[in-house]
Amino acid sequence: MSTTFTYGVRNEGTAPDALIRFVTEEELQGTATILHEKLDERLRARYAKGLFQGKPEQVESMAALGFVEADTVIVAGYRPGSGTDGLRLAAAAAAKAAKAARAAHVELSIGEAAFSQDVEDWGAGAAAQALTEGLLLALHDRQPLKRDGSERFGLTQVDFVPEEAASLGTKEEWEQGIMHGRIVGGGVIYARDLTNLPGNDLTPERLAFHAEELAGDFDLDIEVIDEWSAAEQEMGALLAVGQGSVNPPRMIVLHYSVAPDSKEIWGLIGKGVTFDTGGISLKRAPGMEEMISDMGGAAAVLGAVRAIAELKAEVNVVAVIPAAENMPSDRAFKPGDVLRTMSGYTVEVVNTDAEGRLVLADGMTTAIRRGATRLIDVATLTGAIMVALGYEATGAVTNNESLMNEVKAASKRSGERIWEMPAYPEFRQALRSDAADLKNGGVKYGAASAGGLFIGHFAEGLPWVHLDIGGSAWLERARGWEPKGATGVMVRTLVEMLTARA
C-alpha cells in the first residue's frame, strides 16, 4: 500500500481520521492552548495523575468529540532537542496509535514548541525525512503467509500541516525531505521483505532473481555468476560454502555508474547466506529458524542500491552479493579442509559455521576486480557482536579511520547506531594457521574483531569498513520504528553515506 504525503494547508472538506500533535512536558505543565480548551483540560488532568507525562514513546489517544476536525486525536510525547532520532521515534509511536485507531488518513500538526529547536539544529529537510521514515517504518512488519491472507495496515495519506504561527523552514525543504524519507524508507522496507522470506523461497538463485528484477526496475547493469563461472574465476571459498546444498551458489554483481568524472567507486559487499545450518559444524536446533536472516547484509546492500538509484545520487557503486546456502550433506565442506580463495590466499576451515567470512572473502575480491576503490561490507557475521552490543548497535571494524569517521557520521544522521570494535594487531594472531595462509575461526575471545579482520585481510590495502549486523538485523520484539523480525538495518546509513558524498 502506498502512502501519499502532502505539506501545507489542509484542503477543505478533507478532514483526517486522526490529528497527531507532538507535545512536550513543558506544554503540559503550562496553560497555553495545545489542541482545544476541552481536550487540553482532559490531557492536563491525565498529566496531573501521572497517566501521561509527555515523555518519548508515550502516546495518548482521545476521541475528538467535534472539538477538532478529526475523529481521533493522537498526542505523542516529545523531548525538544532529541534530534532526528526523537522525531522519528515520536512519529513511530504516533503511527502505531493510528493503526490501533484504524486511522488511515492522518494530519501531523507542525508547531513551534516541539519542532523549533530540532529544525534549527538539523534543518527542515532532515526533520521531514525523519518524520516520514518513522511513520512508514513503524507500520511495516512481517506479513505471515496464511491461507486466508490479511492485508497489512498502512497509512493512505499523511498531511504535514504547520501551525499558523510556525516558521519552520520552506515548503520546498519539507517536500524534499519527505521525498527523501519516502524513498529511503522504501529501501528499508524492500530489505525487510527480502530478509523475511522463508528459506525454501529465497535460495541463492531466487536471490539473484530478485536482484535482476531490481536491476530491471532501475536500469542497472547486473552480472549473475553461476557455479560454473565461479569455478572458472576460482571462487573457491564461495563454492565450498555452497557445495553441501542442492541449491548452488551465486555471485551477484550490480553496477550503478552515473559519475563518469569520478575515479571513486564504492564497493558494497553484502553477505547473502540464504540459510545457515552451520554446515557440518551444525548449529543448535532452537532458534535456527531465524537463520533466514543470514542474508540481512545482502538485503541491506540491495535496499541501499534501490534507494540510491531512485534518488539518482551521482556516485559510482559496485554492489556484490556472494549468495550461498550452508547445508550439511555428503558433499559439504568440512573442518580441516583447505580452501583457495579467489584472491589466491588459502584458508584452513576450522569451523564450517564461520562461513560468512569465507563468502565475503571472494565477494571483496570480486568488488576489487571490478574497480572498487573503497569497500564497505555488511554481514550478520558473529554471535560475538551480540554478546558485546546486544541488539542495540551494529559493530564495526576498519583499516581506515577516515572512512570509519564518515560511516559514523552517516550513522548518526540516520539514527542507526554503530560502535567501532578494536582492530588490535594481536587479534590477527587468532587467524594464523599451520595449514594455510589463515584460518576462519577457532577463537573464543575477541571473536567479533577477529572475524572482521579476517574479511579485512582481503581488502588489498584499500580503505575498508566492516559492519557486523549480527545483533541488529533481526529482533525478537518490536522497538521504536523497527518491527519484530527483519529490521533492514544499515540501509539508511549506506544511503546517507553515499548521497552525502554525492
168-211: per-residue pLDDT in tens? 889 999 999 999 999 999 999 999 999 999 999 999 999 999 99
Q: What is the pLDDT of residue 163?
A: 83
Q: What is the pLDDT of residue 115?
A: 85
Range of the domain at 44: 4-164
Mapped onto helix, strand or coil, the DSSP state of residue 158 is strand
Q: How confident is the model at residue 116 (pLDDT cuts 50, 70, 90)?
A: confident
- Residue in 353, 321, 341, 296 with CA at minimum distance from that of residue 458: 341
The answer to whether residues 287 and 212 touch, using CB atoms and an 8 Å cutoff, is: no
Tens-digit pLDDT profile for residues 299-323: 999 999 999 999 999 999 999 999 9
- Residue in 464, 287, 302, 445 with CA at minimum distance from that of residue 368: 464
Mapped onto helix, strand or coil, the DSSP state of residue 230 is helix
Catalytic residue among 79, 96, 192, 357: 357
Residue 501, pLDDT above cutoff 80: no
The answer to whether residues 473 and 380 touch, using CB atoms and an 8 Å cutoff, is: yes
Which residues are annotated binding-site positions for Mn(2+)?
A: 271, 276, 294, 353, 355
Give the mean model confidence (pLDDT) for residues 5-16: 82
Residues 125 and 218 in one domain: no
Q: What is the pLDDT of residue 12?
A: 65
Q: Note if 283 is an active site residue.
A: yes
306: in domain? yes
Angle at 260 between CA 258 and CA 263, to 5 degrees: 115
298: in domain? yes
Residue 143, pLDDT above cutoff 60: yes
Residues 237 and 362 in one domain: yes
Q: What is the pLDDT of residue 341?
A: 98
Which residue did the predictor score with more confidence, 401 or 11?
A: 401
Residues 240 and 329 in one domain: yes
Q: What is the pLDDT of residue 97?
A: 97
Catalytic residue among 283, 340, 412, 479: 283
174: in domain? no
Q: Phi-psi region for residue 485, left (φ > 0), alpha (ψ -120 to 50) or beta?
A: left
Residues 438 and 484 in one domain: yes
274: in domain? yes
Residues 373 and 436 in one domain: yes
410: in domain? yes
Whole-angstrom distance, CA of residue 407 vs CA of residue 393: 14
Residue 28, pLDDT above cutoff 90: yes
Q: How confident is the model at residue 151 (pLDDT cuts 50, 70, 90)?
A: confident
Q: What percent of the chain has pLDDT over 70?
A: 99
Q: What is the pLDDT of residue 11?
A: 67
Residues 138 and 209 in one domain: no
Tens-digit pLDDT profile for residues 64-90: 999 999 999 999 999 988 999 999 999
Q: How confident is the model at residue 13 (pLDDT cuts 50, 70, 90)?
A: low
Residue 486: which CATH number?
3.40.630.10
183: in domain? no
Whole-angstrom distance, CA of residue 131 vs CA of residue 162: 14
Residue 15: which CATH number?
3.40.220.10
Residues 139 and 213 in one domain: no
Residue 390, pLDDT above cutoff 90: yes
Residues 202 and 112 in one domain: no
Residue 468, pLDDT above cutoff 70: yes
In order of 281, 368, 385, 406, 475, the CA distances from 499 in angstroms are 41, 22, 28, 12, 28
Residues 339 and 462 in one domain: yes
Residues 88 and 130 in one domain: yes
Q: What is the pLDDT of residue 356?
A: 98
Which residues are annotated binding-site positions?
A: 271, 276, 294, 353, 355
**What is the pTM for the complete model shown?**
0.96
Q: Note if 21 is an active site residue.
A: no
Lowest-pLDDT choice from 40-44, 191-195, 211-215 = 40-44
Give the mean model confidence (pLDDT) for residues 100-118: 89
250: in domain? yes
CA 180 to chain CA centroid, nearest Å: 15
Q: Rounded to a whole number, what is the distance in angstroms from the first to the last CA of the chain?
A: 30
- Residue in 237, 347, 326 with CA at minimum distance from that of residue 282: 326
- Total domains in the chain come to 2
Residue 429 CB: number of other CB atoms within 10 A? 11
Mapped onto helix, strand or coil, the DSSP state of residue 117 is helix
Residues 245 and 356 in one domain: yes
Count of CA atoms in the C-beta half-sphere (13 A) of 188: 33
Amino acid letter for position 282: L
Residues 128 and 13 in one domain: yes
Q: What is the pLDDT of residue 433?
A: 97
Handedness of CA 7, 496, 138, 195 (dihedral sign): positive
Query: Torsion angle of alpha carbons 86, 92, 93, 96, nearest 10°?
Result: 180
Residue 165, pLDDT above cutoff 60: no
Whole-angstrom distance, CA of residue 326 vs CA of residue 247: 10
Residue environment code for 256-272, b if the CB has 16+ CB neighbours within 10 A, otherwise e:
beebeeeeebbbbbbbb
Q: Which three cell numbers stand for residue 295?
A: 542474508
Looking at 115, 148, 164, which one is the last position of a domain?
164
Q: What is the pLDDT of residue 74?
A: 97
